[in-house]
């Protein structure tokens, strides 16, 4: 979903006539008050967010709503570092990771309910990463953009189902999937696979890996479709996706083109399950992965408490 959003943003950059439909938000780089030199950092950090607005949440969800305009949670979080030398690194931050050190401990998914600034502040307090650019796409707009492309060609290894994500694919093999199915694939957290005559559930960690693999597959399919699309199709995609996008920190054409043309795999940041079997904590292993990816982790909010 998020990597697909990157390709869609690139389309908008090329056809800026639809920019007025984008939801532009003010974004203050967290930590700048304590360390103004951060503003001159050589790296640029993007936060891509897949939000659960624009779609109906499952009735099993404690925040179920029929209102597509209800406050959004962060369904998927992707941090992308663009270095001054052109190198790109990407990390997937599990949405249920708890942001210790930001107000009261809260999952990143929930901080989005109070707006993008609250989410990027929580990421600064919890991981030490300062976000420069914010790009969010909601579920409804993602569906519409894929449908405007005429669907995506994907290879499904086994039948899949996940009622919570509205995912149900009965037949394996190459097929054209519509926007709703593509969205379900990248949102599914507990998909079951039909193997040897029975449905086999996936663990939470396996589900996180599945989401990243399907996100990569969807990105590749979106790029392939966009590369061969005619101007009319591109215009339809830009129109369908533009009002589903929320952007903070501005759109920077050269950065977006570079990222959209880069080949990179996102690594999921390791986290540890907490006692409630829902929330997760960032431990030393996860911080080591963040450091190895080259992210600066010196961001600090003024007055923030807790540990990083």
- Dist CA 276 CA 176 (whole Å): 39
Strands (DSSP E) found in the chain: 23-25, 44-51, 74-82, 88-92, 98-99, 106-107, 133-138, 152-156, 160-162, 167-169, 173-177, 192-195, 198-201, 245-248, 266-268, 272-273, 280-281
Q: Where are the domains of the chain?
A: 2-140+243-292, 142-231
Structure tokens at 197: 């005559």
CATH number of 2-140+243-292: 3.30.420.590
Q: For residue 276, what pLDDT band results from cuts at 50, 70 and 90? A: low
pLDDT tens readout for residues 224-269: 887 788 878 877 887 777 778 888 988 787 887 777 777 777 788 9
Q: For residue 282, what pLDDT band results from cuts at 50, 70 and 90? A: very high
Domains 2-140+243-292 and 142-231 share a fold: no
- Dist CA 7 CA 4 (whole Å): 5
Name the more confident of 78 and 100. 78
Assigned architecture for domain 142-231 = 3-Layer(aba) Sandwich (3.40)
pLDDT tens readout for residues 171-227: 999 999 999 999 899 888 788 999 999 999 988 778 777 877 887 788 778 878 877
CB 258 within 8 A of CB 7: no
Q: For residue 285, what pLDDT band results from cuts at 50, 70 and 90? A: very high
**Confidence (pTM):** 0.80
């Amino acid at each position: 979903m998020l990597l697909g959003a990157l390709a869609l943003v690139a389309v908008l950059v090329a056809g800026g006539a639809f920019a007025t439909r984008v939801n532009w938000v003010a974004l203050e780089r967290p930590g700048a008050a304590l360390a103004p030199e951060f503003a001159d950092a050589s790296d640029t950090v993007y936060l891509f967010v897949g939000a659960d607005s624009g779609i109906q949440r499952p009735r099993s969800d404690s925040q179920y709503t029929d209102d597509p305009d209800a406050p959004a949670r962060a369904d998927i979080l992707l941090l992308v570092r663009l270095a001054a030398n052109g190198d790109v690194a990407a990390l997937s931050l599990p949405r249920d990771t708890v942001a210790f050190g930001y107000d009261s401990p809260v999952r990143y998914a929930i901080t989005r309910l109070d707006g993008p600034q609250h989410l990027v502040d929580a990421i600064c307090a919890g991981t030490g990463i300062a976000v420069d650019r914010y790009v969010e796409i909601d579920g409804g707009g993602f569906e519409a953009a894929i449908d405007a492309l005429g669907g995506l060609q994907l290879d499904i290894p086994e039948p899949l189902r996940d009622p919570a994500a509205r995912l149900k694919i009965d037949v394996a093999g190459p097929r054209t999937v519509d926007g709703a199915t593509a969205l379900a694939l990248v949102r599914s957290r507990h998909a079951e696979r039909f193997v040897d005559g029975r449905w086999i559930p996936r663990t939470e960690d396996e589900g996180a890996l599945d989401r990243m693999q399907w996100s990569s597959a969807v990105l590749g399919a979106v790029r392939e479709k966009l590369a061969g699309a005619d101007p009319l199709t591109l215009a339809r995609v830009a129109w369908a996706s533009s009002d589903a996008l929320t952007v903070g920190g501005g759109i920077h054409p050269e950065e977006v083109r570079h990222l959209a043309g880069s080949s990179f795999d996102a690594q999921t940041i390791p986290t540890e399950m907490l006692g409630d079997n829902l929330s997760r904590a960032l431990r030393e292993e996860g911080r080591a992965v963040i450091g190895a990816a080259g992210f600066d982790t010196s961001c600090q909010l003024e007055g923030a408490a807790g540990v990083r």
